[in-house]
Amino acid sequence: MFRLLLLALIVSLACKLFFGRWPWDYLRGQSTRKQAVFKARKLLAVRSDASHQEILEAHKRLIAMIHPDRGGTNEQVHEANAARDLLLDELPDKR
């Protein structure tokens, strides 16, 4: 039993040393913010390194398709606007 505990301790320390994270950190899912950013990128169909202009253009294209005058709903427009705002908020400051 002692050998098993010692082996688990050594593996845990090696994981922290080499990867910078404890083994049990890999069992947790992504944070809610990261999940929201992922969904926003997927909704607007932009890459993770998209610029300010690319995000705005993708938002305009999506709004043109889902606008209530073209058969979309207000909820879809609000979701697209929230996705745009979230992705623009995630961009690094240019200061």
pLDDT of 10 higher than 80: yes
Q: For helices 52-66 and 32-44, what crossing angle results, to 10°?
A: 70
pLDDT of 95 higher than 60: no
Residue range 68-84, pLDDT digits in tens: 999 999 999 999 999 99
Average pLDDT over residues 26-49: 90
Closest by CA to 43, choosing from 31, 55, 53, 34, is 55
pLDDT of the residue at 39: 95
Q: Spell out the domain ranges in the chain.
A: 1-28, 31-95
Counting every residue written for the chain, the total comes to 95
- What fold, for 31-95? Helix Hairpins (1.10.287)
pTM of the model: 0.69
Average pLDDT over residues 23-42: 87
